[in-house]
Amino acid sequence: METRAAGQDIAQVSAPRATVLVVASDLGLKLLVSQKFRREIRENELAFVFAEDGGSALKTLGRNDVDVVVTDVQLPGADGLTLLFDLKKYFPNIRSVIISAYGDMRTIRRALNLGAFDFLTKPIDLDDLGVTILKTVEESLTLKHAVRDRERLTAIRQELDVARRIQLSMIPRTFPAFPERNEFDIYGDIKTARDVGGDFYDFCILEGDRLYFAISDASGKGVPAALFMAVTRTMIKADAVKGHSPEKCLSETNKILCMENEFSMFITAFCGILDIGTGEVTYSNGGHKLPLLLRAGSEIETLQNTDGIALGVLEGDSLYGLGRMKLGHGDTIFLYSDGVTEAVNRELELYTDKRLANVLSAVGPGLPKDAVEAVLGAVEIFSEGVSQTDDMALLAIRYN
């Protein structure tokens, strides 16, 4: 017996699919509605609440989640048209049906202009009453769902905007980055294909007068790639700050990513450390696009590969080698992600490494900012009219 009582309580408090407010001083309309929708009321598909005038109707609307208002034009005090005006002002998402005398087209027209969705005429036909109210209920529920979806999308958009700002705050964006240092110049930029992306560049000064720098590109797009990127960036940088060499930074990060990689994501990464005093660079590559070297009076070179694989793919030792090179006076090292060279135009042609090299050759080993902006500008012109499909990260370092 107790179980049945509990079940009955649940049935009684469960919300109906829709609620209709009927506003009329005529008791006969309440009886008509109760008769026509007795099945829907019994099965809790529809609930009806009643009010005798516009004032009590507004109070009812304030206390109940009403979907449809059915109101007579003739009401005590303010008429039904005044109620429609108040509905439009205070409850714009509620659909309404006006009841008017047969042939009173002037009043019906005014009601429709005030936002009424449909109308009924007296004497009321039961079938017409049923069809009109059910049609209006469906319209109201469709609108309500659309409003809720829009609110959810707005909330998601706001969260993505916050996520974007958080992500960009993790990437150095203030230049000149080290105004007190004249031994080198550095500049970077990032363009995401979505609100958040999986590419990053990073740099910082380490103990021993060394400059740590890195660039990376996570698989996938959007939020998953951004989260994977954030974790990777933190781990590589943490190992660099501890004093580990570039190949050790990648190796240790790879071990952790392989252990905690339920969704089989991976990320390419290039990590380097510049000895600011000597110009010597040690570096390691984890499946990333190899940086380009711009030397004064020479053709553009590609750094020698260290044959490392993308991080998060395979766990093991000795997966990442160590490379060495030396920057001379005025030399620039240019790092980028494949979103640059794989940008497409309207003919579906790729931007390619060759076009990138041509732009950098024209710029020469000048200021890093000039090189980065020249490349971004050239890619934008090349892919004009085509939406960006991949993230782009660029970082240039000039040794003075």
Burial of 84 (0-12, 13-18, 19+ CB in 10 A): buried
Residues 55 and 179 both lie in one domain: no
Residues 352 and 385 both lie in one domain: yes
- Among the residue ranges 32-36, 184-188, 308-312, the one predicted with the least confidence is 32-36
Number of domains in the chain: 2
164 lies in some domain? no
Looking up tokens 């079940």 gives 7
pLDDT band of residue 297 (cuts 50, 70, 90) is: confident
pLDDT band of residue 130 (cuts 50, 70, 90) is: very high
Residues 237 and 324 both lie in one domain: yes
Where helices occur in the chain by DSSP H, the ranges are: 2-13, 27-36, 38-42, 54-63, 80-90, 105-113, 126-170, 222-241, 246-259, 338-341, 352-363, 368-382
Distance CA(205)–CA(207), nearest Å, equals: 7
pLDDT band of residue 2 (cuts 50, 70, 90) is: very low
Q: Is the pLDDT of residue 166 over 80?
A: no
Q: Which DSSP symbol is given to 290? A: P
pLDDT of amino acid 14: 66
Between 239 and 162, the higher pLDDT residue: 239
Distance of CA 36 to the CA centre of its chain: 47
* Percent of residues in the chain assigned helix, strand, coil, to nearest 5: 40, 25, 35
Helix (H) or strand (E) holding 286: strand 280-286
Residue 59 belongs to domain with CATH number = 3.40.50.2300
pLDDT band of residue 160 (cuts 50, 70, 90) is: confident
Q: Is the pLDDT of residue 165 over 60?
A: yes
Residues 302 and 198 both lie in one domain: yes
**Which of 6, 18, 8 is closest to 44 using CA atoms?**
18
The per-residue pLDDT for range 322-356, each reduced to its tens digit, is 999 999 999 999 999 999 999 999 999 999 999 99
With beta carbons less than 8 A apart as the criterion, state whether 189 and 370 touch: no
pLDDT of amino acid 7: 38
High-pLDDT (> 90) share of the chain, %: 69
Domain that holds residue 84: 2-149
Between 3 and 236, the higher pLDDT residue: 236
Q: What is the rounded average pLDDT of the residues 123-127?
A: 90
Residues 107 and 232 both lie in one domain: no
The per-residue pLDDT for range 40-83, each reduced to its tens digit, is 999 999 999 999 999 999 999 988 899 999 999 989 887 899 99
Q: Is the pLDDT of residue 281 over 90?
A: yes
pLDDT of amino acid 150: 87
pLDDT of amino acid 221: 79
Residue 345 belongs to domain with CATH number = 3.60.40.10
Q: What is the rounded average pLDDT of the residues 120-133?
A: 92
The per-residue pLDDT for range 388-398, each reduced to its tens digit, is 889 999 999 99
Count Cβ atoms below 10 Å from residue 245 Cβ, excluding itself: 17
Q: What is the rounded average pLDDT of the residues 275-291?
A: 97
pTM of the model: 0.70
Residues 136 and 239 both lie in one domain: no
271 lies in some domain? yes
